[in-house]
Structure 1
Amino acid sequence: MYQCAVLTISDRSFRGERPDEGGPLVSRLLTDAGFSVAHTEILPDEQADIEAALCRLADSGDFPLIVTTGGTGFAPRDVTPEATLAVCDRLAPGIPEAMRYASMQVTNRAMLSRAQAGIRRGTLIINLPGSPKAARENLEAVLPALSHGLEMLSGRPADCAKLPR
């Protein structure tokens, strides 16, 4: 079981003006898939705050996986992808490609997602959209492969020949 953190990026939820629906949904999906959600947090759409939280959590060594929800669109304050890119050592482009592909089967608006995924030290960071529906679609697209990716990231032997489809 992998321990993970879920960060909701939303000015309105941070200020208490709107309930956080995305974070709890993402946490539930991860828990149902066998992950342990050990930390949740709501942050404003401020790049410095997002970067600081990602660094703090990744550098603690406690979280092999950090999932963000929100701040991946075209709005001027949507800066989650920029924060993620700023703190990652390596990118994992196949993850957002798979998410956008799966979501494109539902709506052509999926092409507007700027979500990123990357690795900081031993932590995989994945951006999801803020819409609960889109967050579910995107996470479900990549969830089956995440444990294998985290196994490889940990440095432990991972059997690539036995991947589920």
Structure 2
Amino acid sequence: MNRIPGAVLTVSDRASAGAYADRSGPLAVSLLAAHGIDATLAVVPDEPTAIRRGIRSAIKHGARVVITTGGTGIGPRDVTPQVTTELLSLPLPGVVDEIRRRGAEQVPTAVISRAEAGIVTSTKRPSAFVVNAPGSTGGVRDTIAVVGPLVAHIVDQLDGGDHKP
């Protein structure tokens, strides 16, 4: 099986400043590996420019799946979904609906997540699947549980593959 190139982008003011140890990003990298995805890890502050640059850079460097962690709540600095929406050519709302549903089985506040998911297309590079995960380790586990099994099929579809049952 060919490994799929990916990226994890932790969005956190505290982690990017070194005031807080990033636990969600390394966990996402580890969980993605179990699904055949080799992901790099970067940490950026909750700033639209940094988030946009992080997602674009990951795709520029070949990532076919980009998972962001953090910034999906309703706090004043939670801007990851807005930035992601700007970049998406094709939203996939069912993906985040399922992530929220699974999360709410354990933590009722999971439904407050404003996460987005979809496809970023480019004329210069292959398309990429981008998903926002909450910054908690539980939110990352729920996200990868939904997304991990889908990635190979999504990348195959983006590359023109046939629909598979």
4+ residue segments displaced more than 4 Å: none
Structure 1 residues 119 and 33: alpha-carbon distance in aligned structure 2, compared to 1, 3 A threshold: same
Q: For the Cα contact (< 8 Å) 1:7–1:42, is it kept in 2?
A: yes
Secondary structure in 1 matching 2:156? helix
Q: For the Cα contact (< 8 Å) 1:72–1:115, is it kept in 2?
A: yes
Match for residue 138 of structure 1?
143
Q: TM-score, normalised by structure 2?
A: 0.91
Match for residue 127 of structure 1?
132
Q: Which segment is superposed worse, 7-16 or 49-58?
A: 49-58
Match for residue 115 of structure 2?
115
Q: Percent identity?
A: 33
Q: TM-score, normalised by structure 1?
A: 0.91
Equivalenced residues, count: 158
Residues 15-71 of structure 1: CA deviation (Å, up to 9, x unaligned): 00000100000000001221111x21000000111112212222x261111111000
Gaps in structure 1 of 5+ consecutive residues: none
Equivalent residue runs for 1:86-101 within 5 Å: 86-101=86-101
Q: Using the TM superposition, give the Cα deviation of residue 11 of structure 1 relative to its aligned residue in structure 2, in angstroms.
A: 0.3
The separation in 2 between residues aligned to 1:63 and 1:142, in whole angstroms, is 15
Gaps in structure 2 of 5+ consecutive residues: 122-126
Equivalent residue runs for 1:16-165 within 5 Å: 16-37=18-39, 39-58=40-59, 60=60, 62-121=62-121, 122-155=127-160, 157-161=161-165
